[in-house]
Amino acid sequence: MTKEINFDVRSSRNLTMLVDFYELTMGNGYLRDGLKDKIAYFDMFFRRVPDGGGYCIMAGVEQLIEYLSNLKFTKEDIDYLRSKQIFAEEFLDYLENFEFCCDVWAVPEGNPVFPNEPLVTVRGPVIQAQFIETMILLTINHQTLIATKANRICRAAQGRTVMEFGSRRAQGYDGAIYGARAAVIGGCASTACTIAEEMFDIPASGTMAHSWVQLYPSEYEAFKAWAEVYPENCTFLVDTYNVLKSGIPNAIKVFDEVLKPKGLRPKGIRIDSGDITYLTKKCRKMLDNAGYSDCKIVISNSLDEHIINDVISQGAKVDSFGVGERLITAKSEPVFGGVYKLVAIEDDNEIIPKIKISENEEKITNPGFKKIYRIFDKDNDMAIADLIALNNEVINTDSSLEIFDPVYTWKRKKLTNFYVKDLMVQVFDKGKQVYESPSVLEIKDFASEETEKLWPEVLRFENPHTYYVDLSSNLWSLKQSLLHKYTDQYK
């Protein structure tokens, strides 16, 4: 419906300078040090699924592509940087004539993803590959966080509709806009954020606020006025004064007086406060008794996956949930800790793997230029494991494959009847965009299909089974040898 409309708030904005200042000082340093053409490889990955979940939903690739396609330093940017008096003119020239020429691979949006696997890999001149760190992290961290949270909330709703309602409590305008996008990828049916429909062709919806009810002399008059303007779209907010003594009786009265004579049915009633389980049960009975058993009950009020779980298990009569602040900010865990680490450089066209050591084992990186194979069971298409391999490794699916835990290496599994999928796709080839993003609703469907390929034990809400993310033998051996090399130095 809105596909033809060529409106895009994003394209009018140049975010090139949204960069941590040290990317610029390092870039200037590399240039001064003769490393302008030094090829480096960086991986973006995360270490832990938020909220103790079993997987995340990848999101943000479309916006990352837009950013990388539009990298451009304006005259004002260059003047501003010059005024800092620490950058060489040669570096400012480089920026003024900046031409993005990196290769970029990414896991397409909507895929379930797991800790320690590269979500984005960049290969290119170190100045460029380093420069884009901030925006890669910012873009993928934010949208993956919200898509993952939305997915949890939608699973808790067990098939009931979840609407994203959080704009007013988002962390900034983009928090609302791209948060709505990610929420739909994660499973929400709609958003209250109008601009998000215009930009992404995802359904915007909404009903009325308390102020509508308050503005009229009485609740009855407020409902009646609404029903006369929107007879086919009557969802009344019934908790402005008193849900059971005023809201529902007035709603039923207006349904009877305004809708019935026109042969129309009500859409729903919404409750935004009070004891949800108790009120929805009572409301359901009152509506049913009045002949409105098709009138949906919508609830909203600081909901999250736990409250939704709880009210459903208590038998609340709810058809759909409006979820606001706890979704749009991922309140229970509002940080997605993706990192961007150097994993290799090139010397005379040879790839030299690099590792980042840490006393915290979790923080040790997987070295080298890599890819991810997702391994599926041929019989039922269920995902068995992910295997991180070196980029030049090919998996022979005709013979058996032994995978093993990278820490407890005696935990081994022999796979026979399987097929694999190369999870990352190339999105830039020497700076040229070579991938087109699907629409948001296509991504939403894809996320739903791919999530269904995970075993229920991985999908589990609390204490999920840890999905296998193993290293190929070659990668494991490479990592061990680099680890020993470095740690031998600091015994």
Q: Which is nearer to a second copy, 194 or 480 (CB)?
A: 194
- Distance, in Å, from the CA atom of 180 to the CA atom of 157, rounded to the nearest integer, reads 18
By CB under 8 A, tell whether 488 contacts a second copy.
no
Contact status: 278 vs a second copy (CB under 8 A): no
Do 177 and 193 contact (CB within 8 A), yes or no? yes
Q: In this structure, what is the dihedral angle of CA atoms 174, 176, 179, 180, given to the nearest 10 degrees?
A: -130
364 binds a second copy, rule: CB under 8 A: no
User: Min. distance of Cβ 115 from a second copy in angstroms?
Assistant: 16
* Residue from 259, 295, 330, 440 binding a second copy (CB under 8 A): 330
Q: Is 179 in the site for a second copy (CB under 8 A)?
A: yes
Tokens found for residue 333: 């865990």
Residue 150 · residue 182 · CB < 8 Å:
yes
35 counts as binding a second copy under rule CB under 8 A: yes
476 binds a second copy (CB under 8 A): no
Shortest distance in whole angstroms from residue 419 CB to a second copy? 36
104 binds a second copy (CB under 8 A): no
Cβ proximity to a second copy: between 129 and 385 the closer is 129
Which residues face 387 on adjacent strands?
Answer: 373, 470
Per CB under 8 A, does 25 bind a second copy?
yes
226 binds a second copy (CB under 8 A): yes
Among 52, 72, 209, 294, binds a second copy (CB under 8 A): 209
Which among 97-105, 322-330, 420-428, 458-466 is the span making contact with a second copy, rule CB under 8 A? 322-330
Cβ-based neighbours of 419, under 8 Å, separated by 6 or more? 375, 376, 378, 397
The answer to whether residues 409 and 403 touch, using CB atoms and an 8 Å cutoff, is: no
Q: Is 345 in the site for a second copy (CB under 8 A)?
A: yes
Residue 360 vs 380, nearer CB to a second copy = 360
Q: Using alpha carbons, list the distances in angstroms from residue 417 to 380, 393, 458, 479.
A: 10, 20, 21, 29
Task: Out of 206, 231, 431, 438, point to the residue binding a second copy (CB under 8 A).
Answer: 206
Q: Is 86 in the site for a second copy (CB under 8 A)?
A: yes
Q: Where are the beta strands (DSSP E) in 202-303?
A: 235-237, 268-271, 296-300
Name the β-bridge partners of 470: 387
Contacting range for a second copy; rule: CB under 8 A; set: 28-36, 99-107, 308-316, 446-454:
28-36
What is the total count of residues that contact a second copy (CB under 8 A)? Answer: 114
| 361 touches a second copy by CB under 8 A | no
Rounded CA-CA distance 116/425 in Å is 18
**Smallest distance from a second copy to CB 325, Å:** 4
Q: Does 349 bind a second copy (CB under 8 A)?
A: no
484 contacts: CB under 8 Å, gap ≥ 6: none
Helix residue spans in 396-472 (DSSP H): 440-451, 456-459
Determine which residue in the list 72, 90, 158, 214 makes contact with a second copy, applying CB under 8 A. Answer: 214
> In whole angstroms, what is the distance from residue 310 CA to residue 293 CA?
23
Smaller CB separation from a second copy, 117 or 272: 272
User: In the set 253, 331, 413, 460, which binds a second copy (CB under 8 A)?
Assistant: 331
What are the strands, taking DSSP E only, across 52-144? 56-57, 103-106, 112-113, 120-125
Decide if residue 90 touches a second copy (CB under 8 A).
no
**In sequence order, which residues have a C-beta less than 8 Å from that of residue 223 and are 6 or more positions away?**
213, 236, 250, 251, 253, 254
Q: Token digits for 357?
A: 């050591």
Residue number with CB closer to a second copy (134 or 397): 134
If one asks whether residue 14 binds a second copy (CB under 8 A), the answer comes out as yes
CB 128 within 8 A of CB 101: yes
Q: Is 9 in the site for a second copy (CB under 8 A)?
A: yes
Among 92, 195, 312, 441, binds a second copy (CB under 8 A): 195
Binding track, positions 138-157, relative to a second copy; x by CB under 8 A: x--xx--xx-----------
Whether 252 and 290 have beta carbons less than 8 Å apart is answered as: yes
Per CB under 8 A, 37 contacts a second copy = no
The CA-based angle 26-30-34, given to 5 degrees, is: 170
Which of 69, 70, 161, 246 touches a second copy (CB under 8 A)?
Answer: 246
